[in-house]
Amino acid sequence: MKFLSTRNSAARYSAVQAILQGISPDGGLFVPETFPTLDYRALLPLSYAERAAKVLAAFIDDIPEENLLSMARTAYARFGAPLKDGILELYHGPTLAFKDMALQILPHLMRASCRAVGETREILILTATSGDTGKAALEGFAGQSGTRVIVFYPDGGVSEAQKLQMVTQEGDNVRVVAVEGNFDDAQTGVKRIFASDTVRERLNARGIVLSSANSINLGRLLPQIAYYFSAYADSVLQGVIAPGEPLNVCVPTGNFGNILAAAYARRMGLPLGKLICASNRNHILTDFIRTGVYDRRREFYTTSSPSMDILISSNLERMLFELAGRDDAHVREWMRALRENGVYALDGSALRTLQDEFFGGWASEGATEAAIAQTFREKGRVIDPHTAVAISVLADYRTQTGDGRPCVVVSTASPYKFGRAVYRALGGDVAALDDFACCEAIAALVGESVPQSILDLPHKPILHTAKCAPQDMERVVLHE
C-alpha cells in the first residue's frame, strides 16, 4: 500500500513515512493510492481492539498485523466505542473526547514507524486544537521518550474544562501555548511552520524532525475509520439493521476528519447510506455541500460547540481529491484560490457527486440547547453541545428528505466537558455557578457521578501560561 499527496499524485510514500511526516512536503495531505476492501461480517465476533487492528492492517502493511493488534489492545484496554440507542459514544477515553480513539494509538504507530524507517531524530509533534485534540495529544505523548509536543489553542476559544485539561498537563516534553486569535489562526500557523524549509532545516540541524497529531496526519485518520466499521457491526448485532442494509451516519463536523473517515469506510465496502454533515453557526461546510462554493470570507462565531468553530476545514482537501477524480491539479488550484481569494467553487459534476454522498445542515445555539433539553426529557440522557448539533440536524434531515432509515449519531465528547452550556440548556440557573458546579448539578439531575478527571481539574496547578500572536508561532517552535 502506497500513499499519495493531494497536491502531487506522482509521488509515492509508505504508510510509515506518511505517519511520521504528518503532511506532505508540498503542503498536501496523504491519501491511499487505492482503497482496500474489508468485509464487516468478519468483524462481527471481534472486540473493538481486534476490529481496529483489522482496519489498520488493511492500510498499513509495513507494520506486522500482530504488532498492530498489540498496539490496539494496549490503546483500547479500558475503553471502546459503544453504540447505545443509535448514539455512538466515542468519549470514554482518558480525555473524554473522540480524539482519544486515534490519539491513544498514534504514539504506538509513531514509534513503530520510527523503527521501520530507522528514524533516530527526536520527533516534535505540533498540534493546533479547537479544544479536544490538544489534550488528547498531550495525554498520548506526555512522557514518551524521543518525542516532544507543542499544542497551540485559541485563547478564549475553548471551554474552561478543555483549557484546564491542557494548561495543567504534566510532563517534561510538553508545552501548551495560547494563540491570540481563533482556531483557524492557530491551524494556519501550524501549516505555515510545516511548509517552511527554513524551520525544517534548523530543526534538523538540532536532530529534530516535525510531525503532527492533528487529523491531517494519516495516523489520526486511519484509526477513526475503525469505529464506523464497529458501529455498523454492532448495528447488525443489535438488530437495528439487516446485514448489508444501508446505515446513515450523522457527524458533528468541524475539520472534516471525522466524517471523512466515514467516507473512507464506505470506499472500503462498508454499506453506509447518507453521510449527514452537521455544523453549528459556523456553517461553512453546510453552505459548501448545498452550493459547491467554499467561502471563508465570513464572520467567525464562538459557540457552545467549540470543536466546530472552524472556517478552514483542513481534511476537506482529501475529499476534494476524490471529487476531482484524483486530479491533483484541480486540488492545487482550489487551494490556491482559497489561500489568495478566500473562496473556490466546484464544477457541476463534482457538486453532484458531493451531494449524492453528503447532506449538509446546521443548528443554531437555540436549536442546540433545545436538542440537549429534548434528549434529556425523552431519553433521560445528557449529551454535549456537539452531539446536540448532530441530533438537531438529523431531525431536520429527516423532515426535509423523508429518509427514515436507521442512523448512527456520532457523540464526540462528554457533556461534563461543557458543564455550563449543558446545565443552562437543561434549564439550570448558571449565573452563580462556575463550570464545575454546573457539572455537579448535571450529575445530580441524572443520578450519576462527575468523571473524576473533571473533578480534579480546578485543584491542579497551572503549568502552562505562554501566549503568542499567530505570527510568532514559528519563534515558539524554534525557542527564539
**Catalytic amino acids?**
99
- For residue 422, the 8-state DSSP code is H
DSSP letters spanning 427-477: T---TT--HHHHHHHHHHHHT-PPPHHHHTGGGSPP---EEE-GGGHHHHH
- For residue 395, the 8-state DSSP code is H
Report the candidate in 153, 87, 4, 43 with the shortest Cα–Cα distance to residue 476. 153
Q: What values do phi and psi take at 379, rounded to 5?
A: -120, -10
Q: What values do phi and psi take at 73, rounded to 5?
A: -65, -35
Instruction: Fill in the amino acid letter for 417.
Output: K
d(CA 86, CA 250): 10
C-alpha cell at 407: 442512523
Report the candidate in 28, 190, 21, 51 with the shortest Cα–Cα distance to residue 121. 21
Under a CB-based contact definition with an 8 Å cutoff, are residues 428 and 446 in contact?
Answer: no
Q: What values do phi and psi take at 234, rounded to 5?
A: -70, -35
C-alpha cell at 251: 457527524
Instruction: Fill in the amino acid letter for 20.
Output: L
C-alpha cell at 226: 475503525
- For residue 296, the 8-state DSSP code is -
| Sequence-separated (6 or more) residues with CB below 8 Å from residue 269 | 37, 38, 39, 40
Q: What values do phi and psi take at 212, rounded to 5?
A: -130, 150
Coil, helix or strand at residue 11 = strand
d(CA 72, CA 212): 20
Coil, helix or strand at residue 251 = strand
d(CA 286, CA 190): 25
